A and B are shown apart, each in its own frame.
Chain A
């Protein structure tokens, strides 16, 4: 059969178009969303949160993230089912200035979750019960209400994953609720990835301070990677330099931990630029989380940032 040059040219163009589209479509379809929401009325200059305004902040951010109209639809879109048990990892390290998440924000989250799951299937946890109590989260291991517990309360640790059994056995879904905290030094920041140090068996915790690879790898362990449905960075009050707080009055929400983490570093760097402080570098653990552990992207071209100012 005689081959026509024009036909092959046309075919080549068409095939190239199809291949290009096939190459680009999955990226566009997989593009996750990060919501950066602020509400100055949610916090005052004495670190006192307003419950109503904090709830409004959280609810608005959640629906902006999912594009749904209600909390129930939003949680369902994130994969939450009525039979689930949700563990929420908070960071109650209160050394020097208190940067624990405000109880008002955790209340807003729990209230929202109850659109799908009952209160008693929500577990708020950190590693130290005493630190939780000091941050306003009274331990509650009863059958009534939202459960609040420390990994030091005897639930044990999974021998394979070396994580608290709250994560490996009790919870079917996980929410990582970190604080907007600048660490500087080697680790740069204490955000989502560092938050899960508190999910580790205690003897492994110091390993995170010596190895970025170990730290990034914690979030890649099956129970954390497969069960996490939402990442939140609480920044009603945060730090942009180590030990220097400011009332950012916002929260960051995302399903992609690397994208949410780099957004938080961007927030700190914007404040640092305003204060004429050199920018924070991208932490090594975050580069490894993206490149080695497939824990999301920090490339701004590959996630959609939604800004919400209430």
Chain B
């Protein structure tokens, strides 16, 4: 499956670094570069990967991750999701989900599907197509790059700026990766 450089920028540590540059089907632990993770947060648990019902990955299919709502993503050519969580000492939790669709067009149509990203999303001033939502106490962002639909969530909307900065850091990592 073809991947654009962005996915490597975001999950550079998640997939490759710890495994010594070799992609393994079931690497036990991977870490994101520390400078990307918001201050005060650290990775919590292991990275999880889910595929389609026909092609399951280490943690199963999308239905094992999000239950029946996965059908909507399958309609947009979903092939896999990588999930990671970060927590701080106060119990705040940031979730990062990277959905890979079969085409960039499908990633965009997924973003415009209100069953995935509801109506009323407010675009952030960042360089990629995105929508942000504040439903206290939750705050989350959907953004699209290439064939990837990326979801960032924090369980305290008081940390909305932190999440916005995290989104920016991920995009900057992509830019640096390109350079």
Contacts and interface: CB of A to CB of B under 8 A. Distances in A.
Nearest to B74: A209
A209 B62 CA distance: 12
B69 A206 contact: no
A242 B137 contact: no
Most buried by A among B72, B118, B119, B151: B118
Interface stretch (A103-111, A183-191, A228-236): A183-191
Interface string B60-72: 0101011111111
B136 interface: yes
B33 interface: no
Contact of A185 (B61, B71, B133): B71
B140 A190 contact: no
B46 to A, nearest CB: 11
B153 interface: yes
Interface in A184-215: 184-187, 190, 194, 197, 205-206, 208-209
B65 A190 contact: no
B115 interface: yes
A96 interface: yes
A242 B69 contact: yes
Interface residues of A, number: 25
Contacts of A185: 68-69, 71-72, 115
Contact of B68 (A45, A209, A243): A209
Nearest to A198: B67
Contact of B115 (A45, A197, A205, A242): A242
A96 B68 contact: no
Contacts of A97: 135, 138, 140, 153
Contacts of A242: 69, 72, 114-116, 118
Contacts of A241: 114, 118-119
Contacts of A245: 135, 138
A190 B67 contact: yes
Interface string A86-119: 0000000101111000000000000000000000
A95 B118 contact: no
B114 A183 contact: no
A45 B135 contact: no
Nearest to B135: A245
A3 interface: no
B135 A209 contact: no
B140 A93 contact: no
Nearest to B60: A202
Given A209-B63, A242-B118, A96 B136 contact: no
Given A184-B115, A205-B63, A241-B114, A46 B137 contact: yes
